[in-house]
């Protein structure tokens, strides 16, 4: 399954480009180690409660190729760890650059609206082991970027339990394939900062959807300079003065520069009437409300900014209906995190280099699964949304337990299509979490961990009845 998206020739190419080809014949050459790291990502959540061990995953690969590995000895966990360290990050980074990109076309699952490919970006966080190296490199949730004072006990208690990485991806909304991705520590990077790294992957013919956290004049300027069109949600406190009202209910306005925003805020504080900005980008504003009727009826207001100024080509009603595609980013992360990585699962590596290698392996494996899912949907003339990602993942894992043949991928697609297609329904669910209730106190971060290797001595305590009988006999 992996070799269809990541063929051996491509693996050898990135190994040679990275300069990590082994100098002598090894039991674990670089090509084998790359596929081993990808298999670690594929089986990350297979055990349900924790990622499987190195030898457990290596045993699956050996059994798959047992006709080639007859008489071979399964490598130890230490040998596999050293092989990962020798491989490094660069080959996986280069491999991700080769396999990333949209998988679909207008006839094979990708979403095209107004003649443009619909894409979206958003960010999430990944937990890493709480080691000094990871803490220094990535930081904790709630940690100050440049602390000026000595951390207090209350400050330590506010920090998250593990170092976190902020991962941001640009995806194709139709197939959920990754067009590009970037990540960094939560302390050193914000979502808008990571978005700037993804600008190079935006091209003319794309229509980018984004949440209100990204709306600013600077980022809007850089995004429109790529030639892509934008539909971004705006915050309520952003003051926009209409310059032209359009027949479909939308209006044209100017997105002010940062300096112009400061001037207008000052004028508003002095009681001056609203006035259009002198400098900024011309935009079109679509305001609407969504009323959700169910057990509880709720109404939410939305305000979208777009570069699509022609209301005949892009009516306001269609733009408002299209914005729900932005939630495909959330669906994408529900595929990547709880299903592939595992629910509440911490990444396995204890060093920043290992974490970086692991994340690239997860992204490559996820991309391969999305390609398999899209191919299955195309075969049955379905939308990719009708093919279960969980089913695709489980079928791919099952296929690795069987000897490879020329028809393995076709059999895998057939197994996926044997299940009835999914039907999406309109639903709503509050973004809430259950409170954690535990009788145990929280461990202070500065408290050293007690040693785990101990010695126990059992002493039998005699009962009082036995002691009295012994004393009576002695008397």
Q: Does residue 90 sit in helix, strand or coil?
A: helix
Contact 202, 228 (CB under 8 A): yes
Contact 126, 168 (CB under 8 A): no
Contacts of 30 (CB under 8 A, 6+ apart): 15, 20, 21, 22, 86, 87, 91
Q: Does residue 136 sit in helix, strand or coil?
A: helix
* Best CA proximity match to 377, nearest among 105, 6, 169, 119: 105
Tokens 């970006």 sit on residue: 121
pLDDT value of position 42: 94
This prediction's pTM: 0.88
CA–CA separation, 375 and 372 (whole Å): 5
What backbone phi and psi angles, to 5 degrees, belong to 18? -75, -15
* Best CA proximity match to 306, nearest among 292, 328, 288, 329: 288
pLDDT per residue as tens, the chain (475 positions): 677 889 989 999 999 999 888 877 777 889 999 999 999 999 998 877 788 899 999 988 888 776 555 556 788 999 999 999 999 999 999 999 999 999 877 766 668 999 999 999 999 999 999 999 999 999 888 776 665 555 555 555 557 778 999 999 999 999 999 999 999 999 988 999 999 999 999 999 999 999 999 999 999 999 999 999 999 999 888 888 899 999 999 999 999 988 888 888 888 788 888 788 888 899 999 999 998 887 778 889 999 999 999 999 999 999 999 999 999 999 999 999 999 999 888 999 999 999 999 999 999 999 999 999 999 999 988 889 899 999 999 999 998 887 777 788 888 999 999 988 888 777 776 677 777 667 777 777 667 777 778 888 898 887 766 556 656 665 5
pLDDT value of position 149: 55
* Cα distances (Å, whole numbers) of residue 63 to 328, 365, 402, 460: 37, 20, 8, 51
pLDDT value of position 137: 93
Token reading at 446 = 């500065």
């Amino acid at each position: 399954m992996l070799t269809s998206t990541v063929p051996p020739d491509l693996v050898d190419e990135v190994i040679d480009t990275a300069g990590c080809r082994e100098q002598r014949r090894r039991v674990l050459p670089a090509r084998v180690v790359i596929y081993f790291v990808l298999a670690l990502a594929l089986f990350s959540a297979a055990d349900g409660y924790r990622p499987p061990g190195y030898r457990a995953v290596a045993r699956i690969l050996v059994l798959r190729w047992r006709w080639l590995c007859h008489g071979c000895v399964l490598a130890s966990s230490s040998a596999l760890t050293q092989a990962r360290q020798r491989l490094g990050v660069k080959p996986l980074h280069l491999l991700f650059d080769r396999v990333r990109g949209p998988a679909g076309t207008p006839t094979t699952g990708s979403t095209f609206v107004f003649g443009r490919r619909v894409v979206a970006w958003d960010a999430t966080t990944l937990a890493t082991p709480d080691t000094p190296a990871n803490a220094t490199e990535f930081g904790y949730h709630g940690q100050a970027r440049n602390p000026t004072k000595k951390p207090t006990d209350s400050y330590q208690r506010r920090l998250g339990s593990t170092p976190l990485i902020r991962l941001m991806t640009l995806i194709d909304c139709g197939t959920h394939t990754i067009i590009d991705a970037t990540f960094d520590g939560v302390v050193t990077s914000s979502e808008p900062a990571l978005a700037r790294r993804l600008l190079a992957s935006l091209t003319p013919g794309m229509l980018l959807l984004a949440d209100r956290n990204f709306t600013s004049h600077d980022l809007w300027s850089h995004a429109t300079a790529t030639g892509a069109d934008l539909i971004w949600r705006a915050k309520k406190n952003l003051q926009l003065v209409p310059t032209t009202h359009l027949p479909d209910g939308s209006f044209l306005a100017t997105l002010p520069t940062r300096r112009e925003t400061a001037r207008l805020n000052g004028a508003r504080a002095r009681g001056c009437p609203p006035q259009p900005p002198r400098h900024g980008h011309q935009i079109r504003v679509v305001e609407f409300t969504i009323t959700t009727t169910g057990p509880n009826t709720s109404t939410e207001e939305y305000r979208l900014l777009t570069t699509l100024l022609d209301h005949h080509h892009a009516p306001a009603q269609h733009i408002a209906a299209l914005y729900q595609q932005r939630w495909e980013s959330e669906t994408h992360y529900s595929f990547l995190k709880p299903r592939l990585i595992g629910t509440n699962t911490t990444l396995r590596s204890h060093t920043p280099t290992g974490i970086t290698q692991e994340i690239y392996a997860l992204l490559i494996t996820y991309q391969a699964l999305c390609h398999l899912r899209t191919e299955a949907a195309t075969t049955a003339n379905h939308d990719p949304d009708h093919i279960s990602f969980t089913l695709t993942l489980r079928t791919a894992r099952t296929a690795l337990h069987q000897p490879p043949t020329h028809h393995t991928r076709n059999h895998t697609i057939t197994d996926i299509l044997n299940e009835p297609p999914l039907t999406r329904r309109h639903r709503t669910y509050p973004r809430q979490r259950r409170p954690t209730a535990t009788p145990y106190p929280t461990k202070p971060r500065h408290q050293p961990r007690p040693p785990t290797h101990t010695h126990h001595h059992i002493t039998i305590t005699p009962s009082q009845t036995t002691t009295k009988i012994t004393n009576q006999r002695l008397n």
